[in-house]
Amino acid sequence: MYEDRCQVRTGAAPEAFAACRNLALTLLRRAGHDNIAAALRTYAGCPRDAVRLVLSGGIT
């Protein structure tokens, strides 16, 4: 998820980014994805499906 490229290093932002990353991983796991890297690539190309995943709470 390109954590090493992130320029945010002060305040509460790093913690907020970590929380968002953890939420994304949890939603993908709850949706039944075993290969997280492949799922990230899939949803990167289908933003509408990614929004549906977030709104469903990972329950498909």
Tokens 């949890």, located at residue: 26
Q: How do residues 15-51 score in pLDDT, each as one tens digit?
A: 888 898 899 999 999 999 999 999 999 999 999 999 9
Rounded Cα gap, residues 12 and 48, in angstroms? 29
Q: How do residues 45-58 score in pLDDT, each as one tens digit?
A: 999 999 999 999 88
Output the pTM of the full model.
0.75
Tokens of 24: 């994304």
Domain locations along the chain:
3-56
